[in-house]
Structure 1
Amino acid sequence: MEAFVKDYDKVIKKQRMLETNDPLDRLINIVNEAKDKIRADPSSVSASLTALGKTIKTVSSGISEEHKELQSALSKYSKAIDKRFTGDMIAAINPHAFDNKENILRNTIAMHFIRQGNFEIGDTFAKEAGLKLPESMRHKFMEMFEIVEALKVNSLEPALEWSTRHRRELEKRSSILEFKLHRQRYLQLLEASRKEDAIAYAKQNFGYFGTRHTQEIMRLMGCLLFFDRIKSSPYADLIAPNANADIQHMFTRDFCSLIGLSCESPLYISVTVGTQAMPTIIKMSSIMKAKKTEWSQQSELPVEINLTDDTKFHSIFACPVSKEQATDENPPMMMVCGHVICKESLVKLSRSVPNGRLKCPYCPTESMSSQAKNVYF
C-alpha cells in the first residue's frame, strides 16, 4: 500500500499546484493587461496584439505541460489502483437486475434528490424521465430541510413548533425529540448568561416531561448554580459539542418516521450495502469460476454478507426453504434448534418422515413439528 499512497500524494500535490496558480486566471490577467495598455495608448494596438499572441502562446504551452504532468501522475495512480485491486467487478454484476424495472429505478433516483434537498435537480430529473412525483411528498421534505437549516444555525423555534404540533404521534413512537429541543434551548439561555430567562423557560416547558425525565431535569436545574461556568462544572457533559448534530439527526429520523419512510434514502442504503457486499461477492465469483460451478439458487447468494447494523432490516420474513414471504396464514415457525422456516414448509417436511420427527434443513437436529413455536418479528 505504500507505493499506492505515494502515487496518490503526487496527484494531490500536482492538483494543488494548479489550484493555487489557476491557468485561466493567468490568461485572464494577461488579456486584461493588454486591454489596459491599448486603452491607454490606442496607437499601440498592433504591437500589443502581437505581443499578446506571443505571450498567450507561451503561457498556453506552460499550461499544457502542467496538465501533462497532472495527467501523468493521475495515470500512474490509476495503474497503481488496478494493480492493487485486481477484482473483476463485472463477474459480480447482474446485467438483467433492472429489466422491466427501469421506472422504479428512475423514481428511486428522483426521490433521492428530493430527500437530499436537491429539489431543482430532482424536478429536472423527474421531468426528463417522464415521472410524476407526489407533490405532497416534495412539500414535506421542503419543510424538513427548512427546519434542518434553522437547526444548523442553532435556531430551535421551527423544530419546537413542529414537535409540539406532532406531540401525540411522536409519543407513540417513544420519541424524546421535543424534550431534547427544550433541553437544548434551556442550555442556550444558560450559556448566554440569561439565568432568569432560563428559569422561566424551565417552569413553562419542563413540567409536561417531569414524570419521564425526572433525573435529567434535576441535573438541568443543578446547572443554575454554575450558569456562568458550565463548561468547567460537574455538568460540563450537558454542553456536548455534537449536541446540535445529534438533534438534527434525531429530528430527521422522527420526521421521516412520521411520513412512513426510513431516515436514509433507499438509493443510499442500496449503494452502501452493495459496497460492503462487493468484495465478498467478487471473491465468491472467482472461486466458482475456478471450480466451474454455479449458484444453486436463483437470486440467492451462496454466502452470507456481513452488514453493519444500520443496514439490516427485518420488515418481512422469507422462508429459506420455500423462498416465499411469511403471511398470517403461513407464519414463521422456530424449531427446537433455533432455525426458522414457514409453517407450510414445516408441515411438508413433517409429512415426508414416517415417525413425525423431521430433520432441520440447516443442522442435524431432529424435532417434532408440534414443538415449533410461532415467531413474531
Structure 2
Amino acid sequence: MEAVLAKYENQINVFSEFLEDLPDTDEPVWVLGECYNAKTEKTELLSDVHSRLWFTYRKKFSPIGGTGPSSDAGWGCMLRCGQMILAQALVCSQLGRAWRWRAEGGQPEEYHRILHCFLDRKDSCYSIHQMAQMGVGEGKSVGEWYGPNTVAQVLKKLALFDDWNSLAVYVSMDNTVVIEDISKPCGWQEPFTSRETPEQACSHTDGNRATTCPHSHSDWRPLLLVIPLRMGINRINPVYIQALKECFKMPQSCGVLGGKPNLAYYFIGFVGEELIYLDPHTTQSAGEAEAGSGVDDQSYHCLRSPRRMKITNLDPSVALTHVVVLFKEIQMKRNLRMFELVENHPPHWPPFVPPTKPEVQTTGAGMSLPTRQIQ
C-alpha cells in the first residue's frame, strides 16, 4: 500500500503547477493580514511564512484506531490543511500575530504546547488520529477524502475537548454569518449588535457605568470563524476574485482552505493574480513524535520559498477562516459579496444549538481507499 501511495505522490510532485521563487515585483505581497514589499522586505516576508506551522503527510505513526492506517499519505491532505488553519488560530490567540519562529530555538512554552496538540499520537487533541476518527461521525471512513466543510465540522467538535486553549469554532451555514449565533459558544448570552462591545451592551441594562460588567473581554472565548463557500460551478467565478483577495488583507485572517480537485492546499496570501500557499503533499516520518522527547520542530515549518498558483486555477469550493480574539474584532467588511453578515438568527432556520461534546467514535478504523481519484 505504501508503494502505491508513494507512486501517486510522485505524480503530484511532477505534474502539480507551482511557482517556487518569490516574484521580483513592486506589487504588494499579502500574508494573513500583513503587507510586504518583495524587493525590500523579502527577509521579513520569508520569516513570516516560515513561522506558520506546516503539517504534511506522515508515516510510521501508531495505527489509527489500533488497526487502521499508519500513514495518511494519499488521503490526509485536507485534514493536514485543517490542522494548519487551526494551528494559526491558536498561535494568534496564544502568541499573537507578530510572533516569529526561530530555527535556533528558544520558543515560549505556549508554542510547544500548541505543537504537541497536533503530533501524530492518539492522545494529541488535534492529531490525525483524532481527526480521522471524529470524521467517522460525519459519515467519513478512515482513509476517505474530506471536503472543506467536513474538516470544519470535525475541528468544531474536537475543539470542545481542548480545555487549555478554550477556542470556540463556528461554521457558517448558507453563506451567512449570524452574529447572534457566534456569541453563544463564545460565552456572551445577552442581546447585542455587532456595533457594540460587551461593555456597551451592559450599559443598556444597567445605567450605573461603575458597576462591573460580568461580560468583559476576558470572558470572550477566542473564536475560529469558518465560512464554507462555493464561488462558482466548475471553476472560480471572476466576480469573487477581488473579494477573495480582500479576505487575505484582513488582520483576523487565518487563511483559506481549498485547492484543486482532490488536492488540498492551505492558502495564506496573494501577490498579483497568484495565491500563496503551503503544500501538505510531502511525506515525513512521525517517529520523533512517538518517541515523546526532542520533537524536531523544524519539520513542522516549511523553510523553502512559498509556492504559488494562479487564482483562476482555484477550485470553487473553499472555506474562509478568521480568528476573533476580542469581541470588537467581529467587525467584518460587509461588501465582500461572498457571504452575508446578519445580526440575528433567521426565523425560518432551525434553532441554533451550541455544540456539545459528542461521543467519540472508536470504530471504523479500517482503511478505506478514497472513492475519488487519490491525491
State the TM-score, normalized to the length of structure 2: 0.22
**CA radius of gyration, larger in:** 1
State the structure with bigger RCO (CA 8 A, min sep 6), 1 or 2.
Answer: 2
The structure where strand makes up a greater share of residues is: 2
The structure where helix makes up a greater share of residues is: 1
State the TM-score, normalized to the length of structure 1: 0.21
